[in-house]
A and B are shown apart, each in its own frame.
Chain A
Amino acid sequence: MRALLRRLGVYVLAAWVAITVSFLLPRVVPGNPVAGAIARAQSSGICNAYCIKAIEEQLGFNIHTSIWTQYVQYLGNLVHGNLGFSWSENANVTSLILSYLPWTLGLLGVATILSFLAGTVIGVVMAWRRGSLVEWLLPAATFFQAIPYFFLALVLVLIFGQTGSILHWFPSLYGYDIYGVDPGMNLPYIGSVLQHAVLPAATVILASMGGFILSMRNQMVTTMDEDFVLVARAKGLRNSRVVWYAARNALLPCVSNFSVAISLVVAGQILVEIVFNYPGIGYHLYGALGALDYTLVQGIFVVITLVVLAANLLADVVYVLIDPRARQEA
């Protein structure tokens, strides 16, 4: 329990750092983000004097309160779930992000879990059958690991996407058929969502699996040299059982490295969403960047950080559950 609490402390601190960074950046960076934001908002014709004042207040300009007061106010707003107002979308940032979040979390969750499971199994097989044909997967995994997610997404669109030029199997734009179905709990909508998720999920899985394969394989190779595996073997246990023992132990470091992996997967998925116009957080981050909507950018940054921290915490809990040593300590 103590170890878990310690990790929780780190995450709370990380969240605080991220929040503070997003508060301080517009206030300490040279140059005036307000001018750019106002120009942008005015070009879309909705920025009157009140709008200018609102923008200035959000970015901390021309208001005659100390930065400390602003900071306290900012934190207070956050606690109440208020992330400010987005002028490009003309809506509350919190409600906007809540509407993006299911798309991102759904894709991220399913893709990461599938990729982790498949990658781990392949890594085990690769370590076990070293020197066999499976070994040829190694360079392939390396190659996929080195490809940027969004580039892989473009390649998949080219080959399988309906906007591509070869197979036209899967839809490659938007989260569902925005012309053909009504969002809601109806079958055509759900079918359409699933269909549209195929290519983005495939991209994230393919691009992230290489890393899981390689790390599991290396761990497994190292673990298979341990004495306990030799003992298991000498006792005459079935091969599958011996592999299971080794794999269980090799898995531990992989789970504890999950935090590095997940933040790379999240980074990759942001770009994948952009390629597919998939209506999650990443795609809207792209839009917010283009519209110089700093409030929305910051809100998304804070929320992505919180999501990643939550995933880390989840991985830590899983670690405690599967590692008897950690469990004993806890």
Chain B
Amino acid sequence: MTINTPTIAESTPAMGPTTRGARAIRLPRSPKVIAGVVILIVFALVAIIGGWIAPYSPNLTNESWVQHVLVAGTGPGTHIPADYYPLPLPPSPSHWLGTTVFAQDVWSQLLVSTQATVAVGLLAAAMSTVLSIIVGVTAGYLGGGADEGLSLVGNVFLAIPGLPLLIVLADYVPSAGTSIFLVSLIIAITAWAYSSRVLRAQTLSLRNRDFVEAARVSGEGRFRIIVVEVLPNLIPIVAASFLFTTLYAIGAYVAISFLGLAGSPTSSPPGLWNWGNMLRETFASDAVRGGWWWWWLPPGLCIAVLGTGLALLNFGIDEFINPRLRAEGLSRKAARRLGITRRPKLGLTPVVRRPALKVDTTTHELGTP
């Protein structure tokens, strides 16, 4: 994962002071956004009910769930007592995703793991977003010395590489892995700086708009102006950075679990089942070399698909924030129907406010606001 919302800082949101109550983000209804929403809903559902619908406990081991292979040179006909090594079973009707080399059910582990992974992603993103709003908006609105100081802190955190810092923190707080809250907190500490920088830039540009000026002149308090006038106009950016941070947090959680820093489910105190832990076990057991794809592919693919879902939804928000990015929400056919050429056309990027509805052909020819 890499930065995917770089345009935010430079672009101006296509909105001024909105009427109260009508501030919901209207996402463009492109296939990308719909796909993103569907993916997120599915994973959210699994995160909630995964523990109930899992056929077995993720820790349950059963001798009959592995194939016992005789070690060559032992057992009957030799002087050495028979020795067996386990081979995991490929997918079958009784084990949809096969079993692990530890004789556990992969499908159950995958379902149960979804919960902690998604929970940490969301919680860490929520914490980091709150932190970035507090720092970014305060810095942007207050300006002066407060801005200098807070921006400096943000820039320092931005410059220190996140994962290594995370590794050192998690290494010294061994109990972090047992608690969703703690691990989220540690991830949030390393994640807030980028969003805060973006929010600061946007607040800076909002601060001098007329409606904020008007509120100030009419004697509204500083806190009230920030909460009532400034914050609502930052919602799309906050949403985009929330999604981006969720993606980052899931990646970070999976990474530290893969490194064994978030506790393993079998250690004491037991860590939480998550996709990173599953991948760690497959890697430690050399599952790739063993050819046991059913064990190591599913958790990785889950991360990738969930991450793609988040990124696709982010596209929707990007297109909401920056109308210039919007036009390709249209299919080729729909575009032709609306009379928009999709050829590269300089300075005249087709802009459609509501792709599903009829579009006044004069507006998009004039370019963007």
Q: Which A residues form the contact surface with B (CB < 8 A)?
A: 10-11, 13-14, 17-18, 21-22, 25-26, 29, 31, 33, 128-131, 135, 139, 142-143, 145-148, 150-151, 154-155, 157-158, 161, 163-165, 208, 210-212, 214-215, 218-219, 221-222, 224-227, 229-230, 233, 242, 253-254, 257, 259-261, 263-267, 270-271, 274-275, 285-286, 289-290, 294, 297-298, 300-301, 304-305, 308-309, 312
B291 in the interface (beta carbon within 8 A)? yes
Closest B residue by C-beta to A242: B346
Task: Given A221-B325, A257-B6, answer yes or no on A142-B164 (Cβ-Cβ < 8 Å).
Answer: no
Task: Given A145-B311, A304-B161, answer yes or no on A131-B328 (Cβ-Cβ < 8 Å).
Answer: yes
B260 near A233 with CB under 8 A, answer no
Contact of B6 among A208, A219, A229 (CB under 8 A): A219
Interface residues of B in 314-369 (CB under 8 A from A): 315, 318, 322, 324-325, 327-328, 332, 335, 342-344, 346-347, 349, 367-368
B43 in the interface (beta carbon within 8 A)? no
B152 near A301 with CB under 8 A, answer no
Provide the bound-state CA to CA distance between A290 and B258, in Å. 12
B255 in the interface (beta carbon within 8 A)? yes
B164 near A225 with CB under 8 A, answer no
Closest B residue by C-beta to A266: B161
Q: Which residues of B contact A130 (CB under 8 A)?
A: 327-328, 342, 344
Interface residues of B in 147-170 (CB under 8 A from A): 152, 155-165, 167-169
A270 near B2 with CB under 8 A, answer no
Q: Which residues of B contact A129 (CB under 8 A)?
A: 344
Q: Which residues of A contact B303 (CB under 8 A)?
A: 146-148, 151
Top 9 nearest A-B pairs by Cβ distance? A211-B2, A146-B307, A131-B342, A267-B163, A230-B347, A151-B300, A263-B161, A14-B159, A29-B172
Closest A residue by C-beta to B340: A131
Provide the bound-state CA to CA distance between A212 and B165, in Å. 24
A-B contact pairs, 11 of them (CB 8 A): A13-B152, A130-B344, A139-B32, A142-B4, A143-B304, A146-B307, A146-B308, A154-B288, A260-B3, A289-B259, A297-B171
Interface residues of B in 272-293 (CB under 8 A from A): 279, 283, 288-289, 291, 293
Q: Which residues of B contact A147 (CB under 8 A)?
A: 300, 303-304, 307
Provide the bound-state CA to CA distance between A242 and B332, in Å. 26
Q: Of residues A139, A267, A305, which shows the largest number of chain B Cβ atoms within 10 Å of its Cβ?
A: A267
B3 near A257 with CB under 8 A, answer yes
Q: Which residues of B contact A226 (CB under 8 A)?
A: 347
A151 near B172 with CB under 8 A, answer no
* A259 vs chain B, min Cβ distance (A): 6
Provide the bound-state CA to CA distance between A146 and B251, in Å. 8
B367 near A225 with CB under 8 A, answer yes
Interface residues of A, dominant DSSP = helix
A146 near B259 with CB under 8 A, answer no
Provide the bound-state CA to CA distance between A309 and B343, in Å. 42
Closest A residue by C-beta to B193: A260
B300 near A261 with CB under 8 A, answer no
Q: Which residues of A contact B283 (CB under 8 A)?
A: 150, 154, 275
Contact of A261 among B3, B252, B310 (CB under 8 A): B3
B349 near A254 with CB under 8 A, answer no
Provide the bound-state CA to CA distance between A155 and B299, in Å. 12
B205 in the interface (beta carbon within 8 A)? no
Contact of A286 among B6, B156, B173, B259 (CB under 8 A): B259
Q: Which residues of B contact A259 (CB under 8 A)?
A: 158-159
A145 near B161 with CB under 8 A, answer no
A253 near B160 with CB under 8 A, answer no
B161 near A146 with CB under 8 A, answer no
Interface residues of B in 217-258 (CB under 8 A from A): 247, 251-252, 254-255, 258
Q: Which residues of A contact B173 (CB under 8 A)?
A: 29
Provide the bound-state CA to CA distance between A154 and B288, in Å. 7
Closest A residue by C-beta to B9: A253
Q: Which residues of A contact B307 (CB under 8 A)?
A: 145-147
Q: Which residues of A contact B304 (CB under 8 A)?
A: 143, 146-148, 151
Closest A residue by C-beta to B289: A163
Q: Of residues B159, B251, B322, B325, which shows the largest number of chain A Cβ atoms within 10 Å of its Cβ?
A: B159
Q: Which residues of B contact A304 (CB under 8 A)?
A: 161, 164
Given contacts A17-B160, A154-B288, A214-B4, 14 further A-B contacts (CB under 8 A): A13-B152, A17-B156, A142-B311, A143-B308, A151-B279, A154-B296, A230-B346, A259-B158, A259-B159, A261-B2, A266-B161, A294-B171, A304-B164, A308-B159
Task: Given A11-B159, A146-B247, A260-B158, answer yes or no on A289-B260 (Cβ-Cβ < 8 Å).
Answer: yes
